Amino acid sequence: MKSIYKNKRVVQFLEKHFPDSPISVWTDWKWHLQNSIHQIHYLSKFLILSDEEKSAFELSGFHLPFLISPYYLSLLCQKNDTPLRKTVIPVQSELIKTTIEKNDPLDEKLYSPVPNLVHRYPDRVLFLATDTCATYCRYCTRSHIVAKHTVHASNAEWKPAFDYIKNNPQIHDVLISGGDPLMMSDDKIDFLLSEIRKIKHIQLVRMGTKVPAVLPQRITKELVKILKKYQPFFMSLHFTHFDEITEESSFACKMLADAGIPLGSQTVLLKGVNDDILEMTKLMKALLTHRVKPYYLYQCDPIPGSSHFRTTVQKGLEIIEGMRGHITGYSIPHYVIDAPGGGGKIPLLPDYTTIHEDGSVTLRNYEGKIFKYPV
Ligand SMILES: *Cc1c(COP(=O)(O)O)cnc(C)c1O
């Protein structure tokens, strides 16, 4: 990433906010972690805060800690009105808890047979490896566990989870998430993947991460070398908005894709952030050209203080309908609701068909034209 030296955003950001650091620090993920902003009060050194943000900071009672990496902050500093700002900087609305909102909306605790595992579907498990992230999303599904030190994170503490997977041969697929698994050290990631791969009936290993979008420097040659040992190994990358497609994140995706790791994306539909057909289309097309196949578009989960993020389901359907036919199907994610109460991911599709009594079907195409499929 030599051109980082010519990247105006990076050069200006470092000159202004870290004048004593050479530009070379930018490619060092550990520098980003060491210089992450934990205290919302420091934010005013970087950004002109709105009244809504300021008043939020004066109150306390956020259930989710605040954390942002210098890299991600550089995206917010670039233009003061980026929609990304709302996803990471708390506003006063976050303190409003509505009656439908729950700490654990997907009832993951109920589906957890042993610590660190959620076993909701017969053939696959979710492995919660860590409870920290490089930047905290204000709409986080697991805001009740993130940074709460409730997730067991040492090698020895993972044993019950490994044993459970070993003792349940119907499990073929382990999805590692958290927190963000890529916050762990290379050695620890290597250990976790090798322990899972040792289990004979595991066919597929997957990892969910937002690191390529919030701390792309973490995707190093050394890390990629570890990850590629465990194929078939898939990654689901969390991207929210086109503004996250930068020189750095593009390079992170390229390194992973060049290593032969199939990449999918996950995006949460967020009011005022990406709930727009053109914006969503732009992001999905950009991901695909970076060899990241859009996988899921999630309706926002009802966690405490999320009402300002949630759109109607109608909005999500409009966005999906606005993409279908206009861009390649490869770019179109599955729009799903992870059903509150633990029902799992349920797909939602715009209504394109009417099935008649004789078995024939009336179909509507993307232009609204009507077609008939005969019996
Ligand atoms: C999302 C999820 C999975 C994986 O679902 P896929 O549709 O296979 O990607 C597995 N377990 C849990 C608990 C999940 O939430």
- For the chain, the structural domain boundaries read 4-95, 108-347
Ligand 1 centroid from CA 118, angstroms: 9
SS3 state of residue 321: helix
Q: Which atom of ligand 1 is nearest to the CA of 126?
A: 11
Catalytic residue numbers, as ranges: 120-121, 124, 133, 137, 140, 142, 301, 338, 345
Tell me the one-letter amino acid at 118: V
What's the mean pLDDT in 8-16?
A: 96
At residue 200, φ and ψ (nearest 5 deg) are -60, -40
Write out pLDDT tens, residues 244-295: 999 999 999 999 999 999 999 999 999 999 999 999 999 999 999 999 999 9
The answer to whether 62 and 92 are in contact (CB under 8 A) is no
DSSP state of 153: -
For a pocket test of ligand 1, which of 141, 206, 345, 346 has the largest count of ligand atoms closer than 8 A to its C-beta? 345
Ligand 1 centroid from CA 340, angstroms: 14
Top-level class of domain 108-347: alpha beta
| Longest CA–CA separation in the chain, Å | 76
Within 10 Å of residue 17's Cβ, how many Cβ atoms? 15
The pLDDT assigned to 145 comes to 85
d(CA 225, CA 218): 13
Write out pLDDT tens, residues 207-252: 999 999 999 999 999 999 999 999 999 999 999 999 999 999 999 9
Ligand 1 centroid from CA 325, angstroms: 27
pTM across the whole model: 0.96
What six digits make up the tokens of 27?
A: 């490619």
d(CA 243, CA 117): 33
The pLDDT assigned to 2 comes to 63
DSSP string, 270-286: -TTTT-SHHHHHHHHHH
d(CA 348, CA 338): 11
Residue 122: burial class (beta carbons within 10 Å; 0-12, 13-18, 19+): exposed
Q: Which atom of ligand 1 is nearest to the CA of 124?
A: 10
Write out pLDDT tens, residues 37-81: 998 888 989 999 888 888 777 766 666 789 999 999 999 998 878
d(CA 126, CA 142): 13
The pLDDT assigned to 225 comes to 98
Look at ligand 1, atom 6, and give the residue with the nearest C-alpha. 345
Q: Which residues line ligand 1 (CB under 6 A)?
A: 118, 120-121, 124, 126, 175, 345
Q: Give the end-to-end CA distance of the chain in Å, rounded to a whole number.
A: 58
